[in-house]
Amino acid sequence: MTTTSSYFFEAPRRLRAFVRARETSLVLLAALIGIIAGLVVAAMSSAVTLLHELFFDLGPGERLSSQIKIDPLHAVGVPTLGGLLLGIALMLLLRRRPEREIDPIEANALHGGRMSFRGSVIVALQTIWSSGVGASVGLEAGYTQLSSGIAASLGRAFHLRRADQRIMVGCGAAGAIAGAFGAPLAGAFYAFELIIGGYTPASLTAIGVAALMGYLTANTFAPLSLGVVADQMGEVLTLDLAIAGLLGIFAALFGIGIMRGVALCEALLSKAHVWPPLYPALGGLIVGLFALVTPQVMSSGHGALYLTGMINMPLAAIGTVFLLKAVASIVSLGSGFRGGLFFASLLLGALGGHLFAAAFNAIWPGHHLDPTIYSIIGMSALSATVIGGPLTMTFIALETTGNLWLTTAVLIAVIISTQLTRELFGYSFATWRFHLRGETIRSAADVGWIYDLTVGRMMRGDVVTVDERMSIEDFHAKFPLGSKTQVVAVNSDGRYAGIIVVAETYGPENAKATTLNSFLHHRDDTLFPFMNVREAVATFDRAEAESLAVVDSVERARVVGILTEAHTLRRYAEESERRRREISGDL
């Protein structure tokens, strides 16, 4: 796993000290990161647009997913061959870089904001290619990966503290999302909810400035509008607030189905005994066949997400796009294309909200639900389920429509969809992917220090050992009462045998004992240097021990130290308080 970051330069010592000592300097650095993020959004979007014009014979300014029809040869051939080339490239890359690249959420959760710049560039290029050949993936994963990777490199160049480094990673993501959606508030809360794992006054200014600069830069340089567009809509009534909650339930269930579908697709392909580089080719073939029915399934769905044109489509066409886009997104990600589900969930949620309103009007024709209103509500509710950022999606709705009353309905749907997802599933798409890889994190909250605080760092290495065959007389001669509390015993091969409580050997009830074997405790309970503090505490609880020996490995079982439960809990509390103060800005 790549956990370190290569950076462009190391700032001069005086400049590093100046930046580290002043919050205003961090804000200036955040502004620079926001500008870079906006440029990343504009450059990547332009690159994908160029690939679409080249591969699909589009005119300047045309969007792939807004086409009415695509030449069948291009529709099927480009994603299939593009997937094959991607699969071969991934296979070759895996030989040179077997480490898995980490994304901003994992970087902030486990690695203190450290990311690989080179790895971020590779992920961004894979995302550009995946979307460029028509795979049904979003660019937001590439936007945030590269922007946060650059931000992490700049933070490392200035030797920022752990908390500030994590904020810089959040600034990169905030600028990227704000630029991509034309929504600075949504970009800021994306960073708070998904990348940093919480809002703090210490991070507010930096994140806000980065989001604003990302928005302004992308809006200036991007050749096409990247935001979500919706025209005027009807009035939101009190009844709509209750109906929005029902839509939130459907959005949660559908979103969970999509996330499980991606994992199921990966599992089926792995069991199919197919050459791995063919996985993306098969996914591209399926997407290409779907594109023969409706081109809206291709790429991120930017062009299809213009609600004014969408709501004028026949319901049968909307339903077809809804189902095929969902399957295309599942197949694209499950077969190995790189990208995200953010844009896809927006489009699917908007389509689903429109279908929901139509179905409701058919069952209860007297209510006349506005399809545009429910497209916005469905868009936000489904995205909150998949992405895991309820306030992010609420602010996207607000910045899209400028309608506060509609935003209230959106917030109700988002709250219900998020809570139901937590109850039934427990993950967003990003954290679900971590779970499938064996990670235990569920958010970007900083738990990396727990993994860094290991038994090897906390133990005492000056441990005293004795041979378990030693006689009681010799033991008493070496350890008079009161000289030691506990002693570690080893066998004739030097392997750990148990722990001896010195006072027990002096008890009158044990006067007839001749060897130490009868005084051995915790024969099968040991710690290992690589264990983190949480695992150590769990071992103490399970063994009901006040102290345990630390051995080098299961096979060798050589004693390398000893650790007490009291010291472990004290160090855990000290580090928890330290991190709390760092996050709140009290240090």
Model pLDDT, residue 222: 67
Q: Tell me, yes or no, whether 122 lies in a domain.
A: yes
Contacts for 309 with CB less than 8 Å, ≥ 6 apart: 66
Q: Which residue has the tokens 């994603």?
A: 79
Instruction: Answer yes or no: do 88 and 188 share one domain.
Output: yes
Looking up residue 539, the CATH number of its domain turns out to be 3.10.580.10
Q: At what angle do helices 390-401 and 162-181 cross, to 10 degrees?
A: 40
Instruction: Answer yes or no: do 149 and 211 share one domain.
Output: yes
Instruction: Answer yes or no: do 173 and 302 share one domain.
Output: no
Model pLDDT, residue 190: 94
Model pLDDT, residue 442: 66
Instruction: Answer yes or no: do 217 and 244 share one domain.
Output: no
Q: Tell me, yes or no, whether 188 lies in a domain.
A: yes
The closest alpha carbon to 185, from 489, 466, 398, belongs to: 398
Model pLDDT, residue 391: 92
How many whole angstroms from its chain centre is CA 414?
Answer: 20
Q: Tell me, yes or no, whether 7 lies in a domain.
A: no
**213: domain range?**
13-224
CA-to-CA distance for 107 and 167, rounded, in angstroms? 11
Q: Tell me, yes or no, whether 93 lies in a domain.
A: yes
Model pLDDT, residue 296: 86
Q: Contact at 8 Å (CB) between 86 and 280? A: yes
Instruction: Answer yes or no: do 407 and 279 share one domain.
Output: yes
The closest alpha carbon to 170, from 117, 104, 101, belongs to: 104
Instruction: Answer yes or no: do 263 and 146 share one domain.
Output: no
Element (H, E) at 292: helix 278-293
Contacts for 423 with CB less than 8 Å, ≥ 6 apart: none
Instruction: Answer yes or no: do 188 and 259 share one domain.
Output: no
Instruction: Answer yes or no: do 48 and 171 share one domain.
Output: yes
The pTM assigned to this predicted structure is 0.82
Q: Tell me, yes or no, whether 361 lies in a domain.
A: yes
Q: Tell me, yes or no, whether 229 lies in a domain.
A: no
CA-to-CA distance for 204 and 282, rounded, in angstroms? 45
Which of 189, 224, 259 is the last residue in one of the domains?
A: 224
Instruction: Answer yes or no: do 381 and 528 share one domain.
Output: no
Q: Tell me, yes or no, whether 200 lies in a domain.
A: yes
CA distances from 131 to 52, 126, 198, 287, 364 (A): 9, 9, 31, 12, 41
CA-to-CA distance for 291 and 69, rounded, in angstroms? 8
Instruction: Answer yes or no: do 129 and 46 share one domain.
Output: yes
Residue 82 φ/ψ, nearest 5 degrees: -65, -40
DSSP string for 379-421 = HHHHHHHHH--HHHHHHHHHHHH--HHHHHHHHHHHHHHHHHH
Instruction: Answer yes or no: do 576 and 532 share one domain.
Output: yes
Q: Contact at 8 Å (CB) between 357 and 374? A: yes
Name 229's bridge partners.
306
Q: Contact at 8 Å (CB) between 251 and 352? A: yes
Q: Contact at 8 Å (CB) between 167 and 203? A: yes
Instruction: Answer yes or no: do 418 and 462 share one domain.
Output: no
Q: Count the domains in the chain.
A: 3
The 3-class SS string of 53-113 reads: HHHHCCCCCCCHHHCCCCCHHHHHHHHHHHHHHHHHHHHHHHHHCCCCCCCHHHHHHHCCC
Up-side HSE of residue 277: CA atoms within 13 Å toward CB? 13
**One digit per residue, pLDDT tens: the chain, 587 residues?**
444 444 557 877 888 887 877 778 899 999 999 999 999 999 999 999 999 999 998 888 778 877 888 899 999 999 999 999 999 999 998 888 777 788 898 888 888 889 999 999 999 999 999 999 999 998 999 999 999 999 999 999 998 988 899 999 999 999 999 999 889 999 999 999 999 988 888 789 999 999 999 999 998 886 444 445 566 677 888 888 999 999 999 999 999 999 999 989 998 998 888 898 999 999 999 999 999 999 889 987 665 555 555 667 789 989 999 999 999 999 999 999 999 888 889 989 989 999 999 999 999 887 788 888 999 999 999 999 999 889 999 999 898 888 888 999 999 999 999 999 989 988 788 777 776 666 666 666 667 777 788 999 999 988 888 998 888 888 888 888 888 888 999 998 899 999 998 888 887 766 667 678 888 999 999 999 999 998 999 999 999 898 999 999 988 999 999 999 999 999 988 888 777 676 665 55
Which of 224, 253, 274 is the last residue in one of the domains?
A: 224
Model pLDDT, residue 310: 62
